[in-house]
Chain A
């Protein structure tokens, strides 16, 4: 088994990898409708697919907020401390 070749074939078949990924994404949400829930603390634990939405929103929120902070406030040129 050559790891390099496996990786190479994955990179060369981006389209297939993408399709498989979308199917997996959908599956995780579909399965969520059929799980029995017995123990819960927060109300959203009963909503199927809630964590999918929360994960996606988290990701976008982190990127947008951090990029804005960086752009308007924190980012400097690499020589900033050497001047």
Chain B
């Protein structure tokens, strides 16, 4: 009798058999895999499962407590919704990549030790990049490579932190880190990179808009929220995160004003929203942690819905820029309404899911008397409605007619959007369903008169501001610089320097060498003699020295794992620095 099954088994191993099925059987199989994963999560009993001893390490594959189960629940739901949305896609490799990606995310969520976490963490990066490359255009291929390189560097930093943690404490348990040493900060940087905390965020808004229509829906759900989960697990109450998160919330809002590509705009709002969660992790109180989990949960559903709506528009019109869209509500009314449910949810309108989740984090800031944090987070939530609830839908579906005559997307896409939209409203109306899943006891009541009126005033008067300024808010065919400039342009400038300055100098040396040493044949013969007698002799002598040194060095070898690990970390750091520059 098997008493515990890892849900990733269905998604990762199950996906490998996907190419064996064809036609209708394949479509059934695509739905079946995430459904089985979801059922496994729903039926999972809390406790520590799947403990494996590997080379002296205790690997824990199944730590199931309220925190990991809440995330696993929404991750597997997102996988199911995403699979339905992508059901019409004929490219099997995309389905496989999406499932391996979702499965790795679940694997990371249930990991009880850092090594298991790391393996799934890396698998996520390698599976997800396929969803970007699968669009098969030049921009996607390039963005995918940048995405992969950034995540590779992040992975190396994370691994370095994990190894140092093991060397210093002898433990790789994935729990709250207490001692503020190198391991603490390296792992934090690794997590922050995946959570897209500025200045480590540019990979997200660079790559997500270049992904396939269905791939972006998966991307919007897993990487950043798995990182939020990891931060909650390891860094609750780390105060620096409060400010980093708040800056993040504002950063996304500012850049969303400038975005013209609809999925880039939504990408900046992932950064903004995850900022709330990061800030809440920094606050670390029971209300704040509950808020972060609740917000991540609802965010995955409404952000998925928004990406599905934007993806439907891109697929049916072939356009992705605000400056080229407009007036298509007539042809895609259902998509428009479903998108708006996502828009109202992310904006935290009463009766929608954002209202019952995001407000917990803001209340947590109030409880801690964090005046500025509270004011800035509230300001950012006005920005959220301004962009995702007003600007994007106005200039995409309403506004001036762009001339496009699309139809509604395939039914499976609408069904997936419908499920997400239903959950957004369901959680908004019946928040206790969500609250029962949260890690701490919930004593929070979102529907008080003051809170409802407060939220409506903020949002509706933001709307007033929008319509007063609407003439200046349309998309313009421009892009805005972000920190990816450093590796997109900065690297180019560095290469120019190499070509223009370093290479000519090297050339000059080669010329000198040629004319001085190789010009003369007699010199060459002498050189041969020199080579035979002096250089070979020198080489042999060096070899003898090396053998002797090796003998001496053998004595230095301690056979202690810590020392080897230390050398590995040092080399990794050097390698990572080398790959940076």
- What is A's interface to B at a CB cutoff of 8 Å? 3-4, 7-8, 11, 21, 24-25, 28-29, 31-32, 35-37, 41-42, 45, 49, 51-56, 58-63, 65-67, 69-70, 73-78, 80-81
B511 at the interface (CB under 8 A from A): no
**By the criterion CB–CB under 8 Å, are A35 and B449 in contact?**
yes
**By the criterion CB–CB under 8 Å, are B257 and A62 in contact?**
yes
Given known A-B contacts A60-B465, A81-B488, A75 and B478 have beta carbons under 8 A apart: yes
Q: How far is the CA of A60 from the CA of B383 in the complex (A)?
A: 10
**By the criterion CB–CB under 8 Å, are A63 and B480 in contact?**
no
Partner of B479, one of A59, A65, A67, A75: A75
Partner of A74, one of B253, B337, B480: B480
**By the criterion CB–CB under 8 Å, are B258 and A66 in contact?**
yes
Given known A-B contacts A7-B336, A45-B450, A49-B457, A74 and B481 have beta carbons under 8 A apart: yes
Enumerate chain B residues within 8 angstroms of A42, measured Cβ to Cβ.
Answer: 366, 371, 374
Enumerate chain A residues within 8 angstroms of B334, measured Cβ to Cβ.
Answer: 3
User: A22 to nearest B CB, angstroms?
Assistant: 9
Closest to B363 in A: A41
List 26 interface pairs A-B (beta carbons < 8 Å), by A numbering: A3-B334, A7-B329, A32-B457, A35-B453, A36-B449, A37-B450, A42-B374, A51-B458, A52-B460, A54-B458, A55-B462, A56-B464, A59-B466, A60-B469, A62-B257, A62-B383, A62-B386, A63-B257, A63-B472, A66-B254, A73-B481, A75-B258, A75-B476, A76-B479, A78-B478, A81-B479
User: A35 to nearest B CB, angstroms?
Assistant: 5
Per CB-CB distance, the 4 closest pairs between chain A and chain B, nearest first, are A59-B465, A66-B257, A58-B382, A55-B458
B477 at the interface (CB under 8 A from A): yes
Apart from A35-B453, A59-B382, A67-B257: 11 A-B pairs, beta carbons within 8 A: A49-B457, A51-B454, A52-B460, A55-B460, A59-B465, A63-B465, A65-B254, A66-B253, A70-B480, A74-B482, A75-B478
Interface residues of B in 277-331 (CB under 8 A from A): 329-330
Q: How far is the CA of A28 from the CA of B452 in the complex (A)?
A: 10
- What is B's interface to A at a CB cutoff of 8 Å? 253-255, 257-258, 329-330, 333-334, 336-337, 366-367, 369, 371, 374, 378-379, 382-383, 386, 398, 449-450, 453-466, 469, 472-473, 476-482, 488-489
Given known A-B contacts A59-B386, A63-B386, A52 and B461 have beta carbons under 8 A apart: yes
Q: How far is the CA of A32 from the CA of B455 in the complex (A)?
A: 11
Q: How far is the CA of A37 from the CA of B449 in the complex (A)?
A: 9
Closest to B466 in A: A59
Partner of A62, one of B379, B458, B489: B379
Given known A-B contacts A4-B333, A75-B258, A76-B480, A25 and B366 have beta carbons under 8 A apart: no
Closest to B371 in A: A42
Q: How far is the CA of A6 from the CA of B299 in the complex (A)?
A: 29
Given known A-B contacts A63-B469, A75-B480, A55 and B461 have beta carbons under 8 A apart: yes
Enumerate chain B residues within 8 angstroms of A35, measured Cβ to Cβ.
Answer: 449-450, 453
User: A51 to nearest B CB, angstroms?
Assistant: 4
Closest to A18 in B: B467
Q: How far is the CA of A56 from the CA of B461 in the complex (A)?
A: 5
Enumerate chain B residues within 8 angstroms of A69, measured Cβ to Cβ.
Answer: 254, 258
